Structure 1
Amino acid sequence: MYGAWQPGVTFALGELDPNFGNNPAVLTTVAGHLALVVPADTTILRDVWDVRRIDVSVSAAQPVTAAPGSLVVDNGSRTATLSAQQLASLPQQSQQVAFSAGGAPETHTEAGPTLRDVLSAAGLWPLSTTSVTAVGSDGYAAAVTPAEATLGGRPLLISLREDGQPLAQPRLITKGDIKGGRYVSNTVVLDVATKPLF
Structure 2
Amino acid sequence: MAHSRNKTALVGLLVGALLAGGCGTVATVAAPEPVAVQEPAAASSPGLVRLTGDIRTPRDLDADDLAALPHHTVAVEYESGSGRQSHSEAGVLLADMVPADALAITDRKNDVLSFGVLAVGADGYAALVSFGEISPEFGDRGVLLATAEDGKPLERPRLVVPGDVKGGRYVSDVVELRVIRTAD
The 5-angstrom pairing of residues 72-87 of structure 1 reads 72-75=50-53, 78-87=57-66
**Partner residue, 1:161:** 148
Q: Which runs of 5+ in 2 are unaligned?
A: 1-34, 106-111
1:145-178 deviation line (CA, Å, top 9, x unaligned): 1211331242200100100000000100011100
**Partner residue, 1:100:** 79
* Residue 125 to residue 115, structure 1, CA distance change in 2 (3 Å): farther
Secondary structure of residue in 2 paired with 1:86: helix
The 5-angstrom pairing of residues 9-88 of structure 1 reads 60-66=37-43, 67-75=45-53, 78-88=57-67
How many residues matched? 140
Paired with 1:71 and 1:162, the residues of 2 have a C-alpha distance of 18
The equivalent position to 1:119 in structure 2, one of 78, 98, 102, is 98
**RMSD between aligned residues:** 2.5
* Residue 107 to residue 132, structure 1, CA distance change in 2 (3 Å): same
State the structure with more CA Rg: 2
**Partner residue, 2:168:** 181
Identity %: 39
Contact 2:54 2:181 in 1 (8 A): no
Contact 1:134 1:187 in 2 (8 A): yes
Contact 1:110 1:163 in 2 (8 A): yes
Secondary structure of residue in 2 paired with 1:113: strand
Q: Which structure is higher in helix share?
A: 2
**Partner residue, 2:3:** none
* Residue 195 to residue 140, structure 1, CA distance change in 2 (3 Å): closer
One-letter identity of the residue aligned with 2:157: P
Q: Which runs of 5+ in 1 are unaligned?
A: 1-57
Q: Which segment is superposed worse, 61-70 or 99-108?
A: 61-70
TM-score, scaled to structure 1: 0.64
1:3-28 deviation line (CA, Å, top 9, x unaligned): xxxxxxxxxxxxxxxxxxxxxxxxxx
The equivalent position to 2:69 in structure 1, one of 82, 90, 108, is 90
Deviation of residue 116 (structure 1)? 1.1
Contact 1:135 1:188 in 2 (8 A): yes
Deviation of residue 85 (structure 1)? 0.4
